[in-house]
Structure 1
């Protein structure tokens, strides 16, 4: 009976995850407002909680069939072109509105130039998108953005600013939040495959069975981990957002404009590849959702004159989550019609 109850609870969490995410944001914000002394502890919790969330996310990546997914050339090429050729042009144009304030500029560039690899999979799936393809694309998108982000910052901001940024926290974030969870997820999947064995083989116990149990447990923890991540991020930064509200209001229209313009651009990018409706939805979500939770530790590590950049990143998270509610509701009405016209 226990496994049945667990599956029922996981299904309940997945059905209500959008409302639960909003509740987590409200709870985190309330804690930050009412007990500002907890902000430091919540900030320390960001990296551990985020690392667990990314580990759980990476467990969903089909490593065994990753080669086949990478060979899905049309989809992979579309998301890469959209995120690393089209999006930078859009971001450059939008960022000109805050080019006079370096902290705002760096924060906007950090978050809008980096495509999401975690909850984009959740929201795309809720809208009927090909979340499995986004899972397979996640390592490629992460590697590409870590390689290209310094180049974009160099082009859009200039060498004098880029050179004062200490690369050590960036490398630490890459290793701690990406490389280690990714390697652990691949190892866990390998152990789980050993546990399954071949048909007719006796059940495998020991370390292999542990891998299978860990995968099942982490799948059930995806929604709670996302809630915990959102709560500690918002709770740790909400007091700063309140203090800098006047400055941060300048970036809210930019984030809203980005969400709006990426819908037609995503649809146009998918058209030449003749992608089906599910893949088209995934492309639009990939182009619109940004990697705010992963780049936040990078923003927090910036020098003091650029400290506001971290709050600029958090502001994007709040705007984007509201935008995702609209995406989940309205995009499925647009994409099937667009796909039928294409065929």
Structure 2
């Protein structure tokens, strides 16, 4: 048996070196802009003042008091982002960020909502591991490399392939079968993991083999930029990256101004898609958001590093700023404060693990 699942939520925060940290799940990455602003206000009032984007299209607030003030928890609950206290840590649903906005073979945003409601409705699924991941791909293949546990890839509006343990094994399903089949498999996994403590489907190969799955053709890799979703104007939307995934108050204000009462889509590559906001790209860039795939900040990611993390041996934020400040072209690069490599991208990248500042600048940016 492995150690207990310590994945944080709001009702079970993580105690970091910089204070308490909470994580909010946002199925499909969608959040109203006014709610994003409210969370930003809470981060300023109680924490370090920024919203941290996660690799599962969610949000983290850091530097919070420990224990959390009840007023903070009540304020987060009032946003509507905690529809089920028992299921808050298992609503890990990533969907193609541009679905229903531009491209793709089907709009899976409705399936995202339906799957979230179905997960919450099953008491037994509250026991799923906090790392268990559902992925809904609209046919473009952009989220299939996110180490899914259960997922779906649309081949058209009427259906596609249900995926188990990865993108290459699954079953053909109609669109109407997607949610009940995913829920049924999640329940079966929850029962199968009881004696093992497994966190992921791939840790139970015998259970996977019992499902009589068939090979699924893997689609060609989508055309994307270093930030996953191409940056700039995409089908009328504004697609931007957030430097080091740290969204500041002024940036949130610019985002809200760009979309008004609309919603924002957080991407699993720690960026934002703002529907209908392509005309606001200059103002978003002025606020410090990245609108160009060639920009240095679009090429760079990092773990939170020291001093916020007890394991971190370097200040990754300072190192990243030094690299960008050199003004040289960077390859896709991830900075890690320790060997855990938290937040590292799944694609090809240069991996810098806890070097000294001088060594890292030399290795990536040249002399």
Would you say same fold, with TM above 0.5? no
Structure (1 or 2) with the greater strand fraction: 2
TM-score, normalised to structure 1's length?
0.27
TM-score, normalised to structure 2's length?
0.26
Higher RCO, 1 vs 2 (CA within 8 Å, ≥6 residues apart)? 1
